[in-house]
Amino acid sequence: MEVELTKEEEIERLVESLKGSKASDWEFHDKFSPVYSTGKGLNKSVVEEISEIKKEPDWMRRMRLKALEIFQSKPMPTWGPDLSGIDWENTTYYNRPDERTSQNWDDVPDQIKDTFQKLGIPEMEQKYLAGSVAQYESEGVYHSLKKVWEDKGVVFMDLDSAVKNHPDLVKDYFCKAVPFTDNKFAALNGAVWSGGSFLYVPKGVHIDMPLQTYFRMNNESTGQFEHTIVVGDEGSKVHYIEGCTAPRWDKDSLHSAIVEIYAQKDSDVRYTSVQNWSKSVYNMPTKRAWVDERAKMEWVGGSLGSKITMIYPSSYLRGPYASTSNLNISLAGAGTIKDTGAKAIHLAPHTTSKIIAKSISIEDGKAIYRGLLRMNKGAIDSRSKVQCDALLINDDSQSLTFPHDEIYEPTATFSHEASVGKIGTEELTYLRSRGLSEDEASSMIVLGFLDDVMKEIPMEFAIEMNRLVKLEMNKLGAVG
């Protein structure tokens, strides 16, 4: 039973949760050499080498090579931030950290195990996760699932293991919602993907604890290209959580993931992502959900760090009464561009969507909302609401909004709201009169601004988000 807190108690708890964070909590890197690496650069031989070392079926090898052709033929996108700094020739596209994936935490190599223990992953698994997958560099090093869910037919493991153990099931969904023809970075993932996770929840199964995957990049000038597939079969319910970190290096790295979600008839799927990349990472994922009749799809995202992030989770509402919500936090620190948003495509009658995007810009950080809302002809009596709110911390910080709305159905209802504001002196004065420092008061205002999304994140992750926001503001000297 939850005890309702007074406002003063809420402030006290929040202040305590904001204390004691330091960059070493996640920016550390290990002196760990991979057991195998393809070296710098990308060509046909590298793709065949990746497929061969994984001992993949021929259909996967052929898909990789076709994806490579498409990647090489597609131009770089020029409609968003400048991506010319990505050094294709000096990036390593595959690093294998160990020879095997373990289902026993004790069998994971000590250095890798120590990394995830520092990040708190085993502790979270023991406390409140139904299962977990840990990926280090290009490969999953560990996966587990509680027996109660295994006995009900749930499949949860890294995607490489799923290709070996459940090839027909994987083939039914692989690159269906996100074909590698979709964009240049999806094609790159199709060619060099490694790791990620595969989650299948059978008909009618409700998993009452979250499942989590955690991705860790360690080396400089490297790439991480996981591919995640989540399938909620008819009438099922599941909450999948994803966390990502990387240490800071002088040379840039690239993260280009694919996430495909299949929310089938009457299912309820939630996907939560908390990403905290370092300022030396280009973050370029493609995330998409197919949402069938009366299914419910929820996206909850927290995006911190990175050099440039371009991410727009999308939901295709394919069946009557399908619904989706997308709640997103984006923090653009010094020298960072966050080009983020969401897409909702209404393809059937009586479908609903809600998009709430919250962005914070610090120092010269630039936050951009770029969204697409489309009501196709025939999406009778469908409804959608889009809300974009931006908070500017400094005079040099920027916020831009590029909504794209297409309404082709006259019976549909649609609204779009947007606001931009700054931290007010009255709020700061009031909170400082309650005993908070200026840093703590500013952080409190920022976290209050984020409350719509923060309350949807599981408590353990919300506390971590609190700390990361505080750390980002203090580290940049943006407050005071």
**Please, what are the averages of pLDDT over each run of 10 residues along the chain (480 residues)?**
45 41 45 70 94 93 97 94 94 75 54 54 56 68 76 93 94 96 96 93 94 74 89 96 67 91 98 82 95 96 87 97 93 90 97 93 91 96 94 86 94 92 72 72 72 67 62 49
> If you write DSSP's letter for every residue of 208-264 in order, what string do you get?
-S-EEEEEE--SSSBEE--EEEEEE-TT-EEEEEEEEE----SS-EEE--EEEEEE-
pLDDT tens profile 433-475 = 777 776 677 767 777 777 777 776 666 566 656 666 666 666 5
Which residue, 136, 82, 80, 145, is CA-closest to 108?
A: 136
10 and 46 belong to one structural domain = no
382 and 402 belong to one structural domain = yes
Model pLDDT, residue 13: 44
Which residue, 276, 393, 399, is CA-closest to 341?
A: 399
53 and 197 belong to one structural domain = yes
Model pLDDT, residue 146: 81
94 and 16 belong to one structural domain = no
5 and 134 belong to one structural domain = no
Among candidate residues 427, 448, 472, the one where a domain is terminated:
427
70 and 25 belong to one structural domain = no
Model pLDDT, residue 195: 87
100 and 234 belong to one structural domain = yes
- Sheet of 211-216, strands arranged across: 139-145, 131-136, 211-216, 237-245, 268-277, 296-305, 323-332, 352-361, 383-392, 413-422
> If you write DSSP's letter for every residue of 297-331 in order, what string do you get?
EEEEEEEEE-SEEEE--EEEE-STT-EEEEEEEEE
143 and 236 belong to one structural domain = yes
Among candidate residues 387, 405, 427, the one where a domain is terminated:
427
Task: Evaluate if pTM is beyond 0.95.
Answer: no
467 and 399 belong to one structural domain = no
Model pLDDT, residue 17: 40
296 and 355 belong to one structural domain = yes
User: For the CA atoms of 405, 408, 414, 418, what is the dihedral angle to 10 degrees?
Assistant: 10
Give the residue numbers spanning the domain of 437.
Answer: 1-30+428-480
Q: How many domains does the chain have?
A: 2
61 and 143 belong to one structural domain = yes
Model pLDDT, residue 2: 40
Among candidate residues 427, 453, 472, the one where a domain is terminated:
427
b (16+ CB within 10 A) / e for 59-92: ebbebbeebbebbeebeeeeeebebeebeeeebb
419 and 439 belong to one structural domain = no
Model pLDDT, residue 153: 95
Model pLDDT, residue 449: 74
